[in-house]
Structure 1
Amino acid sequence: MRTAFRVGVAACLTALAALTPTTAAAAAAAPAGGAPPGSWSVQPAGTNGRPAFVMDSAAGSVIKDAVRVSNLSDAPLSFQVYGSDGYNTPRDGALAFRQAGEAQTGLGNWIALGTNALVVPPGRAADIPFTVNVPAEATPGSHIGGIVALNNAVEQAGDASGVDVGIQRAIAVRIHLTVDGPLTPGLAVRSIRVRHHPSGVPFAAARATLTYTVVNTGNTALKPTVSPKIEGLFGLRHSAFPERTLPVLLPGERAEFSADWPDAPGLDYLNATVRVSAPGVPPASAQSGRAAVSWSTLGTVGALLAVLVFSLGWIRRQKSGLAGEIS
C-alpha cells in the first residue's frame, strides 16, 4: 500500500527565517527530484526594505502592520498564512517556528491576519494587514514569533520502499516584539557531561565529547558566546575548543550543544568548564569532572607490573639460593 506523507518542514522555516526575501525565495524554489513548483518571498510590506518586524509596545496595546507575499514564479500559487510562535530547537538552538497545526501559546496567538488563505497570481504580490493584540498581562521583555506563508502545493520528494514522500515548503518573516517593562537578561550553563571513548590500542589517544546546555534565564533574547574547555590532571593536557557564538536564544529556552576532543588522553582525570556570556549580561560558568579510563592501557600496565613483580621475585629467590650455597 502506497502512502503519501504531507510534511511541513520546520527546518525549512528555521533556515529561511532570517534571510532576505529574494534569497529565501531562491532557496525555496529548487526542490530535488523535479521541476520547482514556484518561488515566493515573505517580507514586511512597504518600501523601506525591512528584513523583519521589530516592535516595541506596552502591554495591552494593539499594533497594526502588513506583510507582503510575493509570487516570483510564472504560475498562480496558493498559500496558507498564519501567525506562529518562535522557539529554539533543542539540539542546536536554531530558531524555528510552530507549524499551522500546533498550538500557538505566545506571540503567534496574538497575531490576527486579515486573511489566512490567498492565491497570488504569477508575478504579483499581496499585502495582508494584521494586528498584534498584546495582552494586558504580557510579561516585559522579548517575544519572538513570525508570520508564515505555507505553499499548499505538495512536492514529490522521492519514492522509497513503496512510500511516496511529499513536502510542503514554507517561509517565515520574523517578528521581534519587546514589551515595555524591566529587562532582566540572564544566562546559565547546565547539564555538563564529558563522555570518554578510549582507543582499543594501549597508550593511544582517546576521544572525548563534551555536551552542555545553555539556558536563557532572563526575559530578553540573547546571542550568547560560549568558551568550552577540558583540562587533564594538573592541567598537563587540555582541549583546544574554539570560542563559539550560538544562535539567538529566546527567553526561557534552552538548547544542547557538543564539542569533540579527538586527541584526549586515554588515562587521566578530565575537568570540563563551560563559560557563557553575552553583551550586557554577567558571564556564567559551570564545571564537571570525570575519570578517563582506558582498559586496554590499564590491562597493559597491569600485565607489565605482574611481569615486574614476578621478575623481582625470581631474582630474589636466585639471590637467596646463591647465598645458601656460599654459606
Structure 2
Amino acid sequence: MTLTSRLVRPLLAALLAAGAVAALTLWTAPVAHATDNGSWAVTPTPPAASSTAPRSYFVIDADPGAKLKDSVRIQNLTNKPITFTIYGADGFNTAQDGFFALKGADEPQIDVGSWIRLPVSRIKLAGRTQADVPFTLTVPTNATPGDHVGALVAMNNAIEGTDDSRGVDIGIQRAVGARLYLRVSGPTTPGLAVSDVHLETDRGAMPWTGSGTGMVTYTVENTGNVRLSPTATVTVSGAGHAVDTVEGDALVDLLPGQQVSLSSEVEGIRWFDRLTTEVVVTSPEGATAKDSDTTWLTPWSGIGLGLLLLIGAGFLVHRRRTVMRRRMRAAEQAPVITVPTPQ
C-alpha cells in the first residue's frame, strides 16, 4: 500500500459510519438520501419509473451463479472537475468498536467486491455534473448462502491534504461509497460468540484511593452467515452483592465472520472483593451468546502495609510491657530500708 492511500481505509470507515444509521432508518422508510461528503455523492441510479421509490443503497437477493446488472450514480457537487477511481469494495468491521468500513482500492477484494465488474475504473466529472456507471454483479456458483456486504466506491484521485502526526507526510484521499447488501439464497443461520471477558479496575492500594470504576473489555464475533445488530449487557457482581449493570449501544451491521473488541465502563467497585463479570450479547435476528470471568481484588500492598502496622504496634506493646516488667522486678529486688521511729 502506498503512502498516498494508507489512510483510505480509516477514512472510509469514518465516512460510512454515518451511512450505517441512515441505512437502518431507510430500510423501513425508503426515502432518497445520497451518501455524500459534501463534495460528491454516490447512490444507486434512480429507477426510470417516477412512481418507484428511489434507492439509497443496493439491496439484492440472488441465487449462486446469478448475473445481475445495475448502475451507480456519481455526482460532483462542487464547481470544479474531479477525477474519480471507482471500484467494488468488500465491507468489514473495524477490529476496535466494530464500525462499518470498506477496503481500499489497492487492497485485495475477496468477497462481493471482487464479484463486481465496471466498464471503467476512472471517470472525470465536470463541476455540478453527474454520471451513471453500469456494473455487473456475478455471484459465484459456490458462493456461501447468507449476507455479503460491500459497496460501489468513488475515490477522489487528488491528494486533498497531508498528515504528519506520525512523523511521515502521508497524503490523504477521500472516498464515498453506496452500500451493497447481497443475500445469496440458501439456509441462513444467525450466530454469536463472546470471549476474552476481562475487568480492569483502578482501585488503589488503600480503601480511600482510586475511583471505584472499571473497564470491561470483551470480544464479539458473528459466527453465522447473516449480518446482525447485537447489543451487549455487562453485569458485574461481587461476593453476595450487585455492583453494576451496563447496556451497550447496538452494533450496526456486524458482518458474518467479523470479530470486534468492545468495552464498557462500570462503577461501584470496592477495595477488596471477588467480582464476577458476565457479558450477554443478543440480537433481534435471534442470536445470543454469553461469557464470564472472575476477578479477585486483593490489594496486597495495602494488606502488607496493614501487616507492617500491626507488627509495629505489637512490637511497641511488647517493648512497653518489657520495660514495665523490668521496672517492677527492680522495685521488688530493691533493698528494704527501715527507718526507726522516734521514741
Shorter-chain TM-score range = 0.7 to 0.9
Determine if contact 2:161/2:173 at 8 Å carries over to the other structure.
no
SS at match of 1:245: coil
Please say if 1:113 is aligned against 2:118: yes
Instruction: Letter of the 1:254 partner, please give it.
Output: Q
Aligned counterparts, 1:206-217, within 5 A: 206-217=212-223
Determine if contact 1:16/1:24 at 8 Å carries over to the other structure.
no
**Structure 2 alignment gaps of length 5 or more:** 23-31, 48-52, 333-343
Superposed CA RMSD in Å reads 2.9
Give how far 1:322 is off. 11
Q: Which has the larger radius of gyration?
A: 2
Structure 1 residues 239-276: Cα deviation after superposition (integer angstroms, max 9, x where no partner) = 24234312321111110011233552232122110000
Aligned to 1:130: 135
- The match for 2:250 among 242, 245, 258 is 245
- The match for 2:56 among 23, 34, 51 is 51
- The match for 1:233 among 230, 239, 247 is 239
The whole-number CA distance in structure 1 between the counterparts of 2:61 and 2:143 is 13
Aligned to 1:14: 13
How many equivalent pairs are there?
312
Determine if contact 1:227/1:244 at 8 Å carries over to the other structure.
no
- The match for 1:185 among 190, 212, 220 is 190
Give how far 1:115 is off. 1.6
Give how far 1:55 is off. 0.6
Please say if 1:224 is aligned against 2:223: no
* Structure with greater strand percent: 1
Q: 1:241 to 1:313 in 2, by over 3 A?
A: farther
The whole-number CA distance in structure 1 between the counterparts of 2:295 and 2:45 is 55
SS at match of 2:120: coil
Aligned to 2:29: none
The whole-number CA distance in structure 1 between the counterparts of 2:297 and 2:267 is 14
Instruction: Letter of the 2:273 partner, please give it.
Output: D
The whole-number CA distance in structure 1 between the counterparts of 2:166 and 2:111 is 40
SS at match of 1:54: strand
Give how far 1:293 is off. 2.6
Q: 1:49 to 1:307 in 2, by over 3 A?
A: farther
Give how far 1:228 is off. 0.9
More displaced stretch, 124-133 vs 12-21: 12-21
The whole-number CA distance in structure 2 between the counterparts of 1:159 and 1:284 is 42
Instruction: Letter of the 2:44 partner, please give it.
Output: P
Identity of aligned residues (%): 35
The whole-number CA distance in structure 1 between the counterparts of 2:313 and 2:121 is 81
The whole-number CA distance in structure 1 between the counterparts of 2:324 and 2:167 is 80
Q: 1:252 to 1:161 in 2, by over 3 A?
A: closer
Aligned to 1:269: 274
Aligned to 1:103: 108
Structure 1 residues 42-68: Cα deviation after superposition (integer angstroms, max 9, x where no partner) = 000015331211110111101111100
The whole-number CA distance in structure 2 between the counterparts of 1:158 and 1:271 is 44
TM-score, length basis structure 1: 0.85
Instruction: Letter of the 1:14 partner, please give it.
Output: A
Q: 1:115 to 1:214 in 2, by over 3 A?
A: same
Instruction: Letter of the 2:9 partner, please give it.
Output: A
Q: 1:42 to 1:204 in 2, by over 3 A?
A: same
More displaced stretch, 9-18 vs 199-208: 199-208
Determine if contact 1:77/1:151 at 8 Å carries over to the other structure.
yes
**Structure 1 alignment gaps of length 5 or more:** 30-38
Instruction: Letter of the 2:153 partner, please give it.
Output: V
Q: 1:15 to 1:108 in 2, by over 3 A?
A: same
TM-score, length basis structure 2: 0.81
Give how far 1:162 is off. 8.2
Q: 1:89 to 1:162 in 2, by over 3 A?
A: closer
Aligned counterparts, 1:296-307, within 5 A: 296-307=301-312
The whole-number CA distance in structure 2 between the counterparts of 1:58 and 1:112 is 18
Determine if contact 1:6/1:154 at 8 Å carries over to the other structure.
no
The whole-number CA distance in structure 2 between the counterparts of 1:285 and 1:97 is 29
More displaced stretch, 181-190 vs 240-249: 240-249
Q: 1:11 to 1:40 in 2, by over 3 A?
A: same
The whole-number CA distance in structure 2 between the counterparts of 1:296 and 1:133 is 64
Give how far 1:194 is off. 1.7
